[in-house]
Amino acid sequence: MMAGDLLRLVGVSKGYARGDQRLHVLRDASLEIAPREIAAVVGSRYEGKSTLLRVAAGLEQPDEGEVWFEQRELTRASGSERAELRSGIAWVHRGGSAVRLLQVIDYVGLPLATGRGRGKREVRELAAAALARTGVSGCARQRWADLSNWERVLVALARGIVARPGLMVIDDLLDGLGPRRTQEASELLASLVEELSCGVLMSVSDIEGALAADSVLTFERGRLKWIAEASDADIIDFPGESRGGRGVTGAG
Amino acid sequence: MAVLALLAEQSDSQAGVNRRLAERYPGARFADNSAHKSLPSLESQGLVRRAAAVGERPLDVYEATVKGVELVERWLYDSSAVLPALRDELRARLQHVREPEGLPAMVEAIEAQEQACAGEYVAAQKRLRAAQRQRKQAGDGGWRGVVEIALMRDEAILWGSLALRRQRMREYLEDPAGMAPLEGVDDGG
């Protein structure tokens, strides 16, 4: 795979109808993420982080622009093709409504449970391995409500890696953890990225959560702006093993 | 006080103190000749003295006196709260800007600072990563390493946050009434 071609957003705009007006949340946003690159979007609520992430993950269609994943255009893919592409992208967040009904092990296995022809036992084994990798095997039989905030982060990461995705899109997972836990989560994330050779696009509300990122972006009136751009050396150097080359181009 | 604290740790020459100032306080922007300017004053106060020449040791080596070491100890563990000063040049210039003629130039100056702070963030983050990697490889869990990593994290966070704060200030000044058409609106996340 060539540098920078894991995820590519080109001129993406997205808005929502509000009455007779159009609210422009994203304007001409472009970015590239390479395998083994961690890119963080820093911003407060309501700036467009989640919209950007949902579009990048293929959960929402942009009004304009293109989204490419592994050199295939997600935005123009047919239903089945889109589903196949999306199976390579993990959407990582701190739980939705479904999670409350399931045991943690089944929640973590959800990305494997649909349309992949795997039996329940195999799914559970893989989910158990993912939970073990993030250090929360003991939570497997618990419910979401019983977990601490920190355990939820680790369970969410386990769910993120269970299908060995090419890209993890992580929505506000590292927010509000405090310095020690933020550092711990960042180190874990970096090591998972190493193991899976995947890329990461994540949103954080403050710069502390972005310290592990190779590239840092923020918004300026709906437009993406780079604070830090990764170089090949950044990605190769951190955290000590080869991470493959890439290139980042400017954003809208 | 930084010069005195460094000498309390270890006797050193002027050049050595300047080098250690740059290493230990990478974001503090001490002048290259800080030691040269501070040492005569510290010496006249009896806080440092020239060390006796021993062997091939250069004559300009300074060491902290007992009085100097005691002052450093008191400073280190002083429990009184001293607020850091919000005294940066850009804020002062903003206090005196003549609106509206001066505003475009100020906005330009703020943007230049955003970029400079972002550059410092990148540099600080690189130093942090290098230090973390070094500690990991060396299996270093010592106290000094913990403090250094904490300081480096704090510095990177400060520069990154400052870059973002400058951007927010610029955006506010560019559009104080919030009249920009329907941008940056609630996207639910």
Which of A159-163, A202-206, B98-102, B165-169 is the least confident region?
B98-102
**A46 contact residues in B (CB cutoff 8 A):** 184-189
A115 vs B161 pLDDT, higher one? B161
Provide ipTM, 2 decimals: 0.79
A172 part of contact set with chain B, CB < 8 Å: yes
The structural domain count of chain A equals 2
Report the alpha-carbon distance of residue A151 to residue A146 in Å, rounded. Answer: 9
The distance of A80 to chain B (nearest Cα, Å) reads: 28
Can you give the pLDDT at residue B187?
43
Note whether A21 contacts B171, CB cutoff 8 Å: no
- Of the candidates A122, A140, A164, which is a domain's last residue? A164
Note whether A22 contacts B189, CB cutoff 8 Å: no
Can you give the pLDDT at residue A231?
64
Residue-wise pLDDT for B118-145, tens only, equals 999 999 999 998 998 888 888 777 888 8
A17 vs B189 pLDDT, higher one? A17
Can you give the pLDDT at residue B94?
87
Note whether B163 contacts A227, CB cutoff 8 Å: yes
Mapped onto helix, strand or coil, the DSSP state of residue A45 is: coil
**B121 contact residues in A (CB cutoff 8 A):** 207, 216, 227-228
Note whether B137 contacts A240, CB cutoff 8 Å: yes
Mapped onto helix, strand or coil, the DSSP state of residue A62 is: coil
Can you give the pLDDT at residue A115?
63
Say yes or no: A207 and A84 in one domain.
yes
In the block, residue with structure tokens 């609630």: B186
Tokens describing residue B152: 């480096």
Which of A201-205, B88-92, B104-108, B153-157 is the least confident region?
B88-92
The distance of B189 to chain A (nearest Cα, Å) reads: 5
Say yes or no: A120 and A240 in one domain.
no
Q: In this complex, which of B121, B167, B187 lies closest to A228 when CB atoms are compared? A: B121
Sequence-ordered list of residues with C-beta below 8 angstroms from that of A104, at least 6 positions apart, any chain: A131, A136, A139, A140, A141, A142, A143, A144, A147, A155
Can you give the pLDDT at residue B83?
82
Say yes or no: A225 and A152 in one domain.
no
The distance of B170 to chain A (nearest Cα, Å) reads: 10
Say yes or no: A71 and A195 in one domain.
yes
Say yes or no: A112 and A148 in one domain.
yes
B126 part of contact set with chain A, CB < 8 Å: yes
Q: Is the peptide bond before A179 cis (omega within 30 degrees of 0)?
A: no
The whole domain housing A108 covers 94-164
E strands, B12-67, are: 48-50, 62-64
Report the alpha-carbon distance of residue B51 to residue B64 in Å, rounded. Answer: 9
A88 vs B82 pLDDT, higher one? A88
CA angle centred on A8, ends B123 and B183, rounded to 5°: 80
Binned at pLDDT 50, 70 and 90, residue B58 comes out as low
- Of the candidates A105, A135, A164, which is a domain's last residue? A164
Say yes or no: A106 and A36 in one domain.
no
The distance of A25 to chain B (nearest Cα, Å) reads: 6
**What is the average per-residue pLDDT within B110-122?**
93
B187 vs A231 pLDDT, higher one? A231
- Of the candidates A148, A164, A180, which is a domain's last residue? A164
Note whether A218 contacts B156, CB cutoff 8 Å: no
Say yes or no: A110 and A58 in one domain.
no
Note whether B187 contacts A228, CB cutoff 8 Å: no
Largest CA distance in chain A: 53
The distance of A133 to chain B (nearest Cα, Å) reads: 20
| Adjacent-strand bridge partners of A202 | A40, A170
pTM above 0.80, yes or no: yes
**A24 contact residues in B (CB cutoff 8 A):** 182-183, 185
Say yes or no: A156 and A244 in one domain.
no
Report the alpha-carbon distance of residue A216 to residue A230 in Å, rounded. Answer: 8
Say yes or no: A47 and A60 in one domain.
yes
**A53 contact residues in B (CB cutoff 8 A):** 189
Say yes or no: A175 and A77 in one domain.
yes
Residue-wise pLDDT for B6-53, tens only, equals 999 999 988 899 999 988 887 788 888 888 889 999 999 999 998 876
Say yes or no: A178 and A99 in one domain.
no
The distance of B183 to chain A (nearest Cα, Å) reads: 6
Note whether A240 contacts B133, CB cutoff 8 Å: yes
Can you give the pLDDT at residue B26?
79
Can you give the pLDDT at residue A247?
34
Give helix A149-161 / helix A179-196 axis angle, nearest 10°: 10
Average pLDDT value for chain B: 85
Backbone angles phi, psi at A207, to 5 degrees: -65, -25
Note whether B153 contacts A211, CB cutoff 8 Å: yes
B139 part of contact set with chain A, CB < 8 Å: no
A218 part of contact set with chain B, CB < 8 Å: yes
Do the Cβ atoms of B62 and B17 come closer than 8 Å?
Answer: yes
**B135 contact residues in A (CB cutoff 8 A):** none
| Residues of chain A falling short of pLDDT 70 | 1-4, 96-98, 115-116, 230-252
Check which CATH number belongs to the domain holding A30 and give it.
3.40.50.300
Say yes or no: A200 and A153 in one domain.
no
Can you give the pLDDT at residue B34?
87
Chains A, B: CB contacts within 8 A come to: 93
Report the alpha-carbon distance of residue A51 to residue B189 in Å, rounded. Answer: 7
